[in-house]
Structure 1
């Protein structure tokens, strides 16, 4: 296998998925959770993302085409859902929900589990990552090329998981006030990212410059 292709694939997926930039967001989304719960969420998010990206690497746009969904439509839908999460972060709705449950005996709230949405979809396995694995797999047709693309993708997700495990240390370093500031800042950035997803989708339909 061409080493240059592997390096290109690795750099592409690292830039698109952005493990380092994802870590503070993971801290904000799991604020106040125990380390054990965070590990479970991180593992679930990474495994789900891996499965989604493997499917798209193997079958590409045929998956979306089979159910009649174009990549621009996928971007718009992901952007809208991501914007709703950003609003929760900006107005601390997640924190308020957790405070209302503070008197309960450390029950896990599965309804407030961010592992599938928004972590796995669309933050890790978002339109950019999906498009990237489709294009990379297309550059090296065949089972061997697919195996290398999947291997590179899994290595990037391992980095994501390892960095997610440092979330507790990062939260302690920032403190409650720091986390609140970071949460609002990331909520604003997430809202901007969501709008960008929508604009990219509209551009794909020829509706935006």
Structure 2
């Protein structure tokens, strides 16, 4: 288990694409306008804990159901592919979770940041990368999530709605390519 910079960057980009925190800025702004107080630090810490727990316990959960990591990676690649399609085409394949006014943990930490896509991706990445590199990628993304949550108003003003949409589409294409790569590498005939 070595820290490999190239792997950390790859994992970070994959998770960044899946989490799509920049694409979530309109959701975050909308929540703030509805009076929901977003606690950036608390939401980031909870999302980090969920993702790290899933990194280390997710495989055991799969074993409990008799599923190997390669099969999960193939299934995860299909989910990633669909998420990429959503991002590029602007359609909704997955059901949106209802918004909560109780706290920033739901829906910010879960499912916006540490949602099904991120958790599936973490387990899928285990087929290709060491846990230490995935862990580092998670931490890097949580730092980015914290910064985006903290400065979402400023980011929205700087990017504009069209800038955020362009970023979302670019990361959607990257996500499609990653999904196809994961599928090819883990499909066993």
TM-score range (shorter-chain normalised) is: 0.5 to 0.7
Q: Mapping of 1:176-195 within 5 angstroms?
A: 176-195=161-180
How high is the TM-score relative to the length of structure 2? 0.66
Give CA-to-partner distance per residue, 1:29-85, whole Å, 9 cap, x none: 4533147548365444322111012326xxxx6654442212221111101111121
Output the CA distance in 2 between the equivalents of 1:153 and 1:174. Answer: 29
2:76 pairs with one of 75, 78, 89: 78
The SS at the match of 1:27 is: coil
Give CA-to-partner distance per residue, 1:109-152, whole Å, 9 cap, x none: 95x94332223431xx2422465446xxxxxxxxxxxxxx6xx8
2:65 pairs with one of 64, 67, 70: 67
CA RMSD of aligned residues (A): 4.0
> Max radius of gyration: which structure?
1
As a proportion of its length, which structure holds more helix? 1
Query: Is the 1:50–1:154 Cα contact (8 Å) retained in structure 2?
Result: yes
1:32 pairs with one of 5, 20, 27: 27
Q: Which runs of 5+ in 2 are unaligned?
A: none
Distance 1:37 1:18, change over 3 A: same
Q: Which runs of 5+ in 1 are unaligned?
A: 135-148
Q: Mapping of 1:1-209 within 5 angstroms?
A: 8-9=2-3, 11=5, 14-18=8-12, 22=16, 25-34=20-29, 37=38, 39=40, 42-55=44-57, 64-93=62-91, 110=107, 113-115=111-113, 116-122=115-121, 125-129=122-126, 132-133=129-130, 157-167=138-148, 168=152, 169-202=154-187, 205=188, 207=189
Query: Is the 1:72–1:201 Cα contact (8 Å) retained in structure 2?
Result: yes
How high is the TM-score relative to the length of structure 1? 0.61
